[in-house]
Structure 1
């Protein structure tokens, strides 16, 4: 089956949309509401590094600082993270997980496993390796 560029872009867009809907649905099953997948990127970054600046988060998740600020502010309102200004340079804002935010780690891990199980259903190990190899090439090309 030969696909043109528009077909490929449309398919990738549809896969991303379905994956995001699946993740939000899974979070709802666990009682986690109000968080979208872009919030999950921030929370996952904080699982790996418990205290990050807004600029560090922006770099790690590939978003601009203004977008990160908006996303973090919502996470603060939901009680998942706190913000703290640097005492020396007040332009620098640190973000840390609250205990409520830290409690999301096992939930996120379970959802990640479920997403992968769903994505890889009926796909052989060789196909998985080939898919990852090709996706890494595409990522590198961009």
Structure 2
């Protein structure tokens, strides 16, 4: 009986995460932002952690390497990022935000914050604290590094 209950919770988590992304992508499309939710994630990660290798960027964004490469290729084509030689390892490169990428982030931040806030309507601070604690516990329980 308990296993069925936990399966139902896992389903709710997956369903909610999928709905959040679907809603955001729908709003991106309606707003004619010119990028996808995944592309936005890459741009924001690069602003927070400048000049990341593709491997580091994939880790920050939770993407596998081939998917990240495709997204970066699209962003390069839109002149929002560029690949530069890695100053510490000449065999690799880093992904760098272009001035156009910086402007895109500045232009869309308010819109995207409004889209994200829509999901949090009707919740209070106590709800957020409980959710944060629960999600962090689940995340920590699933450490792939073998610690758990």
> Above 0.5 in TM-score?
yes
Q: Secondary structure at the match of 1:111?
A: helix
In structure 1, what is the Cα distance between the partners aligned to 2:91 and 2:124? Answer: 50
**Deviation of the 1:100 alpha carbon:** 2.2
How far 1:137 moved relative to its partner?
1.1
Give the aligned partner of residue 129 of structure 1: 129
TM-score (norm. length: structure 2) = 0.78
Higher RCO (CA 8 Å, separation ≥ 6 residues)? 1
Pick closer, same or farther for the CA change 1:140–1:113 going to 2, 3 Å: farther
User: How far off is 1:57 after superposition?
Assistant: 0.9
Q: Tell me the equivalent position of 1:118.
A: 118
Number of residue pairs the alignment of both structures matches: 139
Alpha-carbon separation, structure 2, partners of 1:65 and 1:85: 18
Unaligned runs of 5+ in 1: none
Displacement of 1:112 in angstroms is 2.8
Change in Cα spacing, 1:109 to 1:46, as seen in structure 2 (3 Å) is: farther
User: Structure 1 segments of 4 or more deviating over 3 A?
Assistant: 86-90
Shift in alpha-carbon separation, 1:123–1:138, aligned structure 2, 3 A:
same
Change (3 A) 1:26 1:108: farther
1:108 aligns with 2:112: no
User: For structure 2, which runs of at least 5 residues remain unmatched after alignment?
Assistant: 143-148
Q: CA–CA distance in 2 between the matches of 1:16 and 1:87?
A: 37
Q: 1:88 to 1:111 in 2, by over 3 A?
A: closer
The C-alpha deviation readout for 1:49-86, integer Å capped at 9, x for no partner, is 23222122123223333332222111112221111234
Q: Provide the aligned C-alpha RMSD in A.
A: 2.4
Query: What is the SS of the residue equivalent to 2:95?
Result: strand
The alpha-carbon distance between structure 1 residues 23 and 77, as it changes in their structure 2 partners (threshold 3 A), is: same
1:24 positional shift: 1.4
